[in-house]
Amino acid sequence: MKTARAWQLGIKDMLIMSGSRQRPHLKRPIWIIVLVSLVSICLIGAYIYPPRSSAACYVFSSRDCSIYEQPIHVPSRELTDDETAAQVVIREILKTPPVHSKNPKIAFMFLTPGSLPFEKLWDRFFHGHEDRFTVYVHASSEKPVHVSRYFIGRDIRSEKVIWGKISMVDAEKRLLGHALEDPNNQHFVLLSDSCVPLHNFDYVYNYLMFTNISYIDCFEDPGPHGNGRYSDHMMPEVEVKDFRKGAQWFSMKRQHAIIVMADSLYYTKFKLYCRPGMEGRNCYADEHYLPTLFNMIDPTGIANWSVTHVDWSEGKWHPKAYRAQDVSYELLRNITVRSSSYPSIQFYFSRITCNSALVLDIVVTMAGY
């Protein structure tokens, strides 16, 4: 908005400047013809291209120009009732400052088919920090057997999750819904059975609490696995220019989690029109819904990258899958320190059965707990 204002001021300054510049000394009749034709060209121009900026409005038109004083991101088309309602609610939630809890906690939300292979590792991670976290487990195919006291009794009601379908987003929303019931939960981290922490608890806690933005992976992919999955049926609410992609594993602040609960308009668009086999293409709502939603409603409130390390460098449909023999101290060390600008605080093994005892040894040595 600031840049829009500056730009408009710039235009006004330019108009004033050109007005005060010395006119060339032409002979009067030519001067008049030139002036008249210039004015009529301008008027025709203004007629064909109605003024968009306030400066142009004041110069060219006698209409009420105050509508142009609004921020430029106000869409030019007329919003539907549902859109107006959604935008009002979302704007109010974003404007409401977070309630400061005396005992802020982080919700660790595990989305898993069944038992968690790294539960012992997480037990070591949580130990000694009992008042600063909560655990929620959504087991979508079989009842998990828990070995850690931090996980016992933490299963929430679950439903079947089919990979790539909206049921994945539904499970994420179910986890968020349960975790939001505890008013102390300020940050919500989505994890899978294949995730391991790369740092100790204090590091992760401080990192998320003190930056208090959401770490949602979000980028524009013009190729077939990005915009190629977009369907025109999402119009007019979601245009292709808004369509984004990102890995599913997010960490979200409370305000944003509430917005996900409140949204049904954009969610429904993705439920209906971003699914496998849509118009002969495969669209996966879990990779597009949240990045697109937050890119549209609060682009500066998200980091655009995720704190979960996922390796897309192979450019395939799925991220790089690490096998048990790939896992070494060196690999995890590399991922932990890879880039100081995009630090990973947890690591996602792409659906592999790992040697969990080996990973436990490595991570405990590295993170020191």
Ligand X SMILES: *[C@@H]1O[C@H](CO)[C@@H](O)[C@H](O)[C@H]1NC(C)=O
Binding residues for ligand X, per CB under 6 A?
212-213, 299-300, 303-304, 328, 330-331, 334
Amino acid at 369: Y
CB-based burial of residue 213 (10 Å sphere; 0-12 exposed, 13-18 middle, 19+ buried)? middle
Residue 212 CB, nearest approach to ligand X (Å): 4
CB 265 within 8 A of CB 232: no
Q: What residue has token string 């980091």?
A: 303
User: Please, what is the minimum distance in Å from the beta carbon of residue 300 to ligand X?
Assistant: 4
Nearer to ligand X, 53 or 211 (CB): 211
Are 267 and 208 in contact, with CB atoms under 8 Å apart? no
Helix (H, G, I), strand (E, B) or coil at 105: strand
Cα-based angle 148, 149, 150 (whole degrees, multiple of 5): 90
- Name the residue nearer to ligand X (CB basis): 23 or 95: 95
CB of 73 to ligand X, least distance (A): 11
Q: Residue 54: exposed, middle, or buried by beta-carbon count in 10 A (0-12, 13-18, 19+)?
A: buried
Question: In whole angstroms, how close is the CB of 253 to ligand X at the nearest point?
Answer: 8
* Secondary structure, 3-state, 274-335: CCCCECCECCCHHHHHHHHHHHHHCHHHEEECCCEECCCCCCCCCCCCCCHHHCCHHHHHHH
CB of 197 to ligand X, least distance (A): 19
Q: Which is nearer to ligand X, 46 or 213 (CB)?
A: 213
- Nearer to ligand X among residue 206 and residue 334 (C-beta): 334
Q: Which is nearer to ligand X, 161 or 218 (CB)?
A: 218
H or E element that contains 17: helix 2-20
Q: In what order do the strands lie in the sheet with 251-253?
A: 133-139, 105-112, 185-192, 251-253, 214-217, 302-304
Given a contact cutoff of 8 angstroms between Cβ atoms, the answer to whether 121 and 200 are in contact is no
Q: What residues contact 96, with CB distance under 8 A and at least 6 apart?
A: 255
Return the number of the residue (79 or 303) whose C-beta is nearest ligand X. Answer: 303
Per DSSP, the three-state class of 90 is helix
Decide whether 96 or 334 has the Cβ nearer to ligand X.
334
Q: Which is nearer to ligand X, 126 or 188 (CB)?
A: 188
The residue (of 148 and 251) whose beta carbon lies closer to ligand X is 251
In the complex, the smallest distance separating the C-beta of residue 225 from ligand X, rounded to whole angstroms, is: 19
Using the CB atoms, write b or e for 324-333: b if 16+ within 10 Å: eeebeeeebe
CA distances from 197 to 172, 193, 221, 282, 363 (A): 20, 12, 28, 32, 8
Rounded to a whole number of angstroms, the minimum distance from the CB of residue 294 to ligand X is 9
Least separation in angstroms between CB 82 and ligand X: 25
Q: Provide the minimum distance between the beta carbon of 207 and ligand X in the complex, in angstroms, as a whole number.
A: 12
